[in-house]
Amino acid sequence: MAAPAVEIEQYSVRFGEFQALQEVSLEVPEGAFVAMVGPNGAGKSTLLKALLGLERGSMRDGPTRVTGRIRVFGHPPREVPPGWVGYVPQVKGFDRSFPALAIEVVVSGLRRHWPFRIGREERRQASEVLEKVGALHLASRRLGGLSGGELQRVYLARSLIRQPRLLLLDEPATGVDVVGEADLYRHLEAYQAERGATILMITHDWEAAQHHASAVLVLNRRVVGYGPPEKVLCHECLSQAFGHVGHAHQVVLGGR
């Protein structure tokens, strides 16, 4: 039987004295679309980075201690074949003064180093994937001139260029307008339908989680809930993770 896309067993991360993740265990089957929700500082990005094999801390708070086990398609994260995992980082804090073109960012997803010269085949692949995410017109634009939503599309194209089996996204809809957000989910769902890919996305938008994900993970250092959206996005589970559920969110939950 094929290994699940992601297997996490008793995984804990401690930055100095700070426990960022505690005994997280879960399995993500191949082809799932998992939305990860939780309050600020809940360890969501830490877990996503762990799946990329990047769990090392900054050392500013002391040494990082990691225990437990993670497997991505049956491999330790750092031994996963290149190209199997795509990553869309949070772009909101990005320094855009770096004098790069959008197409160079996309092609950098094919290589381990910066593409100072872009070959014909690389340009073709980058153009194709930019077109898929509705961003071909941005190819020759400088990063500094792109809006948050445009930059997000460029990074989505970068993450898709190698046609990954697992796509990890850190708040991909932040700063994106309503039309851009609908486009984002359309692209993700089309990619998933085309490749049978697995998607793991951090979001603060419970409504998006409810509509687009096949499963929701509620995380607050520990797993508070994991399962179908209609089961996990309930008042009890969310108030356990967030302390309380605000009025606007009561509406989203439909009073559950």
Ligand X SMILES: Nc1ncnc2c1ncn2[C@@H]1O[C@H](COP(=O)(O)OP(=O)(O)OP(=O)(O)O)[C@@H](O)[C@H]1O
Stretch that binds ligand X, among 44-52, 98-106, 116-124, 236-244 (CB under 6 A): 44-52
The CB-of-59 to ligand X minimum distance in angstroms stands at: 7
Is residue 159 at the binding interface for ligand X, with CB under 6 A as the rule? no
Least separation in angstroms between residue 58's CB and ligand X is 4
Rounded-to-integer distance, Cα 207 and Cα 14, Å: 31
Strands 222-227 and 215-220: antiparallel
User: Nearest distance from residue 35's CB to ligand X, in Å?
Assistant: 13
38 vs 229, beta carbon nearer ligand X: 38
**The pairing of beta strand 64-72 with beta strand 18-28:** unpaired
Distance CA 71, CA 77 (A): 6
Look at the block and give the residue holding tokens 């339908």. Answer: 193
Find the binding residues for ligand X in span 45-84 (CB under 6 A). 45-46, 57-58, 61
Return the ∠ at Cα 181 (arms to 180 and 187), rounded to 5°: 85
Judged by CB under 6 A, does residue 44 bind ligand X?
Answer: yes
| Residue 61 or 194 having the CB closest to ligand X | 61
Residue 21: HSE in the Cβ half-sphere, 13 Å Cα cutoff:
29
Residues within window 167-206 making contact with ligand X, judged by CB under 6 A: none
Q: Which residues on neighbouring strands pair with residue 9, listed in sequence order?
A: 69
Span interacting with ligand X, options 34-42, 95-103, 115-123, 127-135, rule CB under 6 A:
34-42
What is the CA angle 47-199-216, rounded to 5?
70
How far is 121 from 99, CA to CA, in rounded Å? Answer: 23
- Stretch binding ligand X (CB under 6 A), from 38-46, 69-77, 133-141, 247-255: 38-46
- Measured in whole angstroms, the distance separating CA 37 from the mean position of its chain's CA atoms is 11
42 lines the binding site for ligand X (CB under 6 A):
yes
- Tell whether residue 109 is a contact of ligand X (CB under 6 A): no
The correct pick among 4, 24, 26, 43 for binding ligand X (CB under 6 A) is 43
Q: Which stretch in 25-33, 41-49, 152-160, 240-248 sits in contact with ligand X by CB under 6 A?
A: 41-49
Contacts of 196 (CB under 8 A, 6+ apart): 30, 31
One residue of 38, 115, 172, 229 binding ligand X per CB under 6 A:
38
SS3 assignment, position 15:
strand
CA-CA distance, 40 to 227, in Å (whole number)? 21
Tell me the site size for ligand X, rule CB under 6 A: 13
**Which lies closer to ligand X via its Cβ, residue 43 or residue 115?**
43
CB of 64 to ligand X, least distance (A): 7
Member of 17, 40, 95, 113 binding ligand X (CB under 6 A): 40
Cβ neighbours around 142 below 10 Å, total = 15
Whether 98 contacts 143, CB under 8 Å: yes
Question: Which parts of this chain interact with ligand X (CB under 6 A)?
Answer: 15, 20, 38, 40-46, 57-58, 61
